[in-house]
């Protein structure tokens, strides 16, 4: 290859490397896309396409961080392309007069990511969650002994509690984003079906409900496991000192046992996800 060819290849790699590092180090979703906050939907899409073409892992030259940057671009665009999610994100991430948008402030860094996850959650709660709630209410009418009014109310309360967890730490935001991703995959499959595919739409709608109900169930299980682990460690420490625990483990999780069992029955195998379980297990120990 000629010197000119080497220089061209080097310039392309440098451009790709610069953009990838910019995408991975920025926290503000607009800056990740390389777009101003005033960008129109068409401009956001153009910025996303321009950067995703450069960062795409299948496009040479090879870069070990291509996949991570490409996924981060997709996450940013998924939030900002939705008008309601974008409004929620803008409100949550906009600094007040007493706070500069610096990464060291509460509104910088981690908070912008949590704002983004909260935006997804908010959009879901005001959108497809209505279908889930309606389906639960229908089950309540048909099987009042199984799905009581208490179950319907507690499922909605559990998502409110999940929203609070998102606002607590980045770790919870990351983990709940994984759970919302499970819902999103079913939503995309549902939208891909033809209008007259009644059977397919009915089947996927039920699956969407089950995957949705799996979220509070799985979050509840992870929180309880974390609390039980902490309690066992505390008891072992007391016993090592020759002391007997004088108190019992407090109530953990976001669901009581009855609601949890009802959800497990409804959700069935839709609540299983080994890769997501591994992410929860690996990250729960990092939660402060």
So where are the chain's domains? Answer: 1-81, 128-288
Mean pLDDT of 258-268: 85
CA 170, 175, 179 angle in degrees (round to 5)? 140
Q: Which of 211, 215, 202, 209 shows the shortest CA–CA distance to 134?
A: 209
User: What residues contact 270, with CB distance under 8 A and at least 6 apart?
Assistant: 207, 210, 211, 213, 214
Do residues 51 and 73 lie in contact, with contact meaning Cβ atoms separated by under 8 Å?
A: yes
- The distance of Cα 42 from the centroid of its chain, to the nearest Å, equals 25
Query: At the top level of CATH, which class does the domain 1-81 belong to?
Result: mainly alpha
Q: Which of 125-129, 181-185, 267-271 has the lowest mean pLDDT?
A: 125-129
Comparing 234 with 211, the larger pLDDT belongs to 211
Dig out the tokens for 10 from the structure.
Answer: 């080097």
Q: Which of 73-82, 96-105, 121-130, 151-160 has the lowest mean pLDDT?
A: 96-105
pLDDT at residue 106 in the model: 31
Mean pLDDT of 189-201: 84
pLDDT tier for residue 103 given thresholds of 50, 70 and 90: very low
pLDDT at residue 263 in the model: 85
Length of the chain: 288
Mean pLDDT of 187-193: 83
pTM value is 0.56
Per-residue pLDDT at 112 exceeds 70: no
Preceding omega of 61 cis (within 30 degrees of 0): yes
Per-residue pLDDT at 209 exceeds 60: yes
Q: Which of 61-70, 79-88, 108-117, 243-252 has the lowest mean pLDDT?
A: 108-117
pLDDT at residue 169 in the model: 61
pLDDT at residue 43 in the model: 96
Per-residue pLDDT at 105 exceeds 50: no
């Amino acid at each position: 290859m000629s010197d000119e060819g080497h220089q061209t290849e080097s310039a392309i790699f440098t451009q790709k490397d610069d953009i990838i590092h910019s995408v991975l180090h920025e926290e503000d979703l607009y800056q990740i896309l390389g777009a101003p906050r005033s960008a129109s939907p068409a401009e956001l899409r153009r910025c996303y396409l321009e950067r995703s073409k450069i960062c795409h892992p299948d496009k040479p030259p090879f870069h070990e961080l291509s996949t991570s940057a490409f996924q981060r671009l997709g996450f940013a665009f998924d939030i900002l392309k939705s008008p309601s999610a974008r409004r929620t994100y803008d409100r949550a991430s906009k600094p007040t007069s007493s706070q500069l948008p610096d990464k060291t402030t509460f509104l910088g860094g981690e908070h912008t990511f949590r704002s983004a996850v909260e935006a997804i959650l908010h959009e879901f709660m005001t959108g497809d969650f209505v279908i889930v709630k309606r389906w639960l209410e229908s089950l309540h009418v048909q099987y009042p002994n199984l799905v009581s009014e208490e179950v319907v109310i507690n499922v909605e309360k559990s998502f409110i509690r999940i929203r609070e967890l998102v606002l607590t730490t980045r770790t919870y935001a990351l983990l709940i984003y994984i759970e919302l991703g499970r819902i999103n995959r079913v939503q995309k499959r549902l939208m891909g079906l033809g209008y007259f595919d009644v059977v397919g739409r009915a089947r996927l709608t039920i699956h969407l409900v089950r995957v949705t109900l799996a979220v509070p169930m799985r979050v509840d299980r992870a929180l309880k496991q974390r609390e039980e682990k902490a309690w066992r460690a505390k008891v072992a420490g007391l016993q090592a000192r020759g002391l007997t625990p004088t108190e019992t483990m407090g109530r953990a999780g976001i669901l009581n046992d009855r609601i949890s069992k009802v959800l497990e029955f409804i959700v069935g195998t839709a609540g299983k996800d080994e890769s997501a379980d591994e992410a929860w297990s690996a990250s729960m120990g990092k939660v402060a």
